[in-house]
A and B are shown apart, each in its own frame.
Chain A
Amino acid sequence: GENVEQHPSTLSVQEGDSAVIKCTYSDSASNYFPWYKQELGKRPQLIIDIRSNVGEKKDQRIAVTLNKTAKHFSLHITETQPEDSAVYFCAATLTGANSKLTFGKGITLSVRP
């Protein structure tokens, strides 16, 4: 089955700096890679996703890049703000009738004011 890893487990940045969170996956057949943000005590929410036929996707201050050869994908947050502080989860799956997301363990991002 799929195995998704995130490193490191915590990341601290100064407000206004950029943050990059990287994930690796094991199953080369996986073709869908979403990122979720979970604020303290709340549900995870989808913030951006990418499919394997695309190398990069951007939405305002966030972007995701995918390297299929190396089997890793990264979340980039520019001009970080205190409200970006949260736990971020990456996930991977092969889309289809019986698919299910496999999540990484999450990374806690702290943005220092």
Chain B
Amino acid sequence: DGGITQSPKYLFRKEGQNVTLSCEQNLNHDAMYWYRQDPGQGLRLIYYSQIVNDFQKGDIAEGYSVSREKKESFPLTVTSAQKNPTAFYLCASSTPRTGGGSIYGYTFGSGTRLTVV
């Protein structure tokens, strides 16, 4: 879908379980991002990665982990330490650019809805 694919679309997690959300892009974008969306809270940044084998914490990284072993892939693991994981998770990618003129915006995946059961 639009060059960036998230799977699964729906995911159910039991208490105490770790789950991994997949994000793959074929846009040859350098940067990838994970956001969490809750009603009335907008999009909050969890982790982001500008290059392979490097990533930085966002505003709400606690209880989450990521890896960036390949340019195309940026999986997010929701660990048991995340006490309120029920949310809609969005992955995005972009090519960081300096200077003016070009569109800089993100391309988003279609999201994964995670529910704790």
Binding site for B on A (CB under 8 A): 1, 6, 9, 32, 34, 36, 42-46, 49, 51, 53, 89, 95-106
A44 touches B50 (CB 8 A): no
Q: Which residues of B contact A106 (CB under 8 A)?
A: 40, 42-43
Chain A CB within 10 A, most for which of B1, B105, B108: B105
Q: Which residues of A contact B97 (CB under 8 A)?
A: 95
Closest A residue to B44 by beta carbon equals A103
Q: How far is the CA of A6 from the CA of B40 in the complex (A)?
A: 11
Q: Which residues of B contact A97 (CB under 8 A)?
A: 50, 96, 98
B96 touches A104 (CB 8 A): no
Q: How far is the CA of A97 from the CA of B94 in the complex (A)?
A: 11
Q: How far is the CA of A1 from the CA of B90 in the complex (A)?
A: 21
Q: Which residues of B contact A46 (CB under 8 A)?
A: 103, 105-106
State the interface size on chain B (CB cutoff 8 A): 28
Q: Which residues of A contact B108 (CB under 8 A)?
A: 43-45
The answer to whether residues A105 and B41 also contact, given A95-B98, A97-B96, A100-B33 and a CB cut-off of 8 A, is: yes
Closest A residue to B107 by beta carbon equals A46
The answer to whether residues A43 and B111 also contact, given A89-B42, A95-B96, A103-B43 and a CB cut-off of 8 A, is: yes
Closest A residue to B110 by beta carbon equals A43
The answer to whether residues A104 and B100 also contact, given A43-B109, A43-B111, A44-B90 and a CB cut-off of 8 A, is: no
Q: Which residues of B contact A89 (CB under 8 A)?
A: 42-43
A34 touches B105 (CB 8 A): yes
Which of A42, A45, A49, A98 is in CB contact (< 8 Å) with B104?
Answer: A49
B90 touches A43 (CB 8 A): yes
Instruction: Please give the distance in Å from B19's CB to the nearest CB on chain A.
Output: 21
Q: Which residues of A contact B98 (CB under 8 A)?
A: 95-97
Q: Is B45's beta carbon under 8 Å from chain A?
A: yes
